[in-house]
Amino acid sequence: MKRASFFAAPAALLLTLGLAQAQTVPASPQALTLYTTVNKAYAEDLVKAFEARTGQQVVIDAAAQGTADVVWLNNAAGFAGGKWVKLPATAKAAAYGPAAHDWLPLSVRFRSLIIHRDRAESSTLPKSLLDLPKVEALKGKIGWAVTSASFTDLVAALLTVHGEAKTREWLLGMQALEPRDFGNELSAMPDALQSGEIDAALSFAPWAARVRGAGYRIDNFFFAPGDVGNLSETSGVAIRSGSDKVDPALAFVHFLNQPDAQLFMATGTFDQPLNTGPLTPRGLVPPDALPRLAPTPDFIPQREKARALLIELDIL
């Protein structure tokens, strides 16, 4: 599938911009260990650019989740319960990161209802996720991915904001729409939309952007600003407490937070970078407008309850 391209090509960003603002540190004979769950190819390219700039070697180790010096996650909820080095505060850390500043937010993706523009009229869709089960035209023509961790997070956010009774009512209403379950395969939803198998799907906004350049007639429908249906999922980076390489680790964190690096990452994920400097690429929301689109409830304490409710209703 051809990837949509409203960004410059990754190689062009690396060669032309050079990620020039990356902080320089003396070369070290000791490699920095990195554990990451982000797109492997883009992580490797950024690591190489950092190494070329600083002389500091970085080794990506998929088995080092509990021991790596730096942990870079595509879903920052994974930092919960860990012990991390306190990082410098930033404006976006205040909006999307923890009060303790123990991990730094890098990018954000919003949940959305992705729709086929010829078969689902945005004017007929509700302003609230809670009212989605009332759209009977979507019966048998809507998709969700209930075994994905992000879906459990959505239910946990509903519990946090609206309580158990309304969340239970929403889940039962959605079941009555006879949704197609994509399991954990959100990537299969755009093809199902394009083929006519479904007309809408509860997913993330980047999926529509990724396929738009390939001719897919798929758009994002966002619920009203602040609605749980627009829930954001943040990527972030942290330094493990106890690391003996804090200085080079801080340099790597600084590097990832530079506008050039953030724009480069967005070419692979189509997530919304949080620090683009004066640039806002076409197709993205200006960073200052981001907090207005999605709520930021502390839903992590409700995760187990969300999972239990999904099992009770035979959704999981």
Cβ atoms 138, 176 nearer than 8 A = no
131 and 46 within one domain: no
Amino acid 133 reads P
Token pair 């998709």 is at which residue?
143
Q: In whole angstroms, give the CA distance from residue 94 to residue 221.
A: 27
- Domain membership of residue 206 (yes or no) is yes
CB-based burial label for 301 (10 Å; 0-12, 13-18, 19+): exposed
How much is the pLDDT for 147?
94
214 and 116 within one domain: yes
Q: Considering the chain, what percentage of its residues have pLDDT values greater than 90?
A: 56
316 C-beta neighbours (distance < 10 Å), count? 15
Q: In whole angstroms, give the CA distance from residue 9 to residue 115.
A: 27
Predicted confidence (pLDDT) at residue 3 exceeds the cutoff of 70: no
Which is more confident, 53 or 296? 53
Q: Average the pLDDT over each of 85-94, 226-235, 271-280 and give the range with the smallest value.
A: 271-280
Range of the domain at 88: 10-108+233-289
- Domain membership of residue 150 (yes or no) is yes
Backbone region of residue 140 per phi and psi (left: phi > 0; alpha: psi in -120 to 50; beta: other values): left
188 and 128 within one domain: yes
How much is the pLDDT for 98?
77
- Domain membership of residue 2 (yes or no) is no
